[in-house]
Amino acid sequence: MPNGFGFDDIILGDIDSLIEKFTLLTDSYRLLVGATEELTRTPSVGECIIDASVCRTAFLGTILDQLLLAIQIALIIDFIRVSEGSENPYV
């Protein structure tokens, strides 16, 4: 691209930012899992509410899987840059 930003810069951005988002979403995922489990032990909660909670938890789990993949790709790209010496002043 003419402005010096490539596809990986736009999509993946800063690795630290991706990891921070992953950590925050992981904490939310754990809370959702716990809340869903609590709902299953509450007799007055209907099956449709439990199903909706499971769906929300699974959806966030899918987002976390995709974010983890983005982090892995960003780390690989960063490793390639360092290996090629483009961002490593010691090479």
Inside any domain, residue 8: no
pLDDT, residue 19, reads 86
Q: CB of 19 within 8 A of CB of 67?
A: no
pLDDT, residue 65, reads 95
Q: CB of 56 within 8 A of CB of 29?
A: no
Give me the DSSP letters along 41-78. Answer: T-TTS-HHHHHHHHHHHHHHHHHHHHHHHHHHHHHHHH
Inside any domain, residue 1: no
Inside any domain, residue 89: no
pTM (2 decimals)?
A: 0.72
Domain count, the chain: 1
* Structural domain boundaries enclosing 51: 15-79
pLDDT in tens, 2-45: 445 555 554 555 777 888 889 999 999 999 999 999 999 999 99
Q: How many CA atoms, within 13 angstroms, populate the side-chain half-sphere of residue 57?
A: 17
Q: How many CA atoms, within 13 angstroms, populate the side-chain half-sphere of residue 62?
A: 6
Inside any domain, residue 27: yes
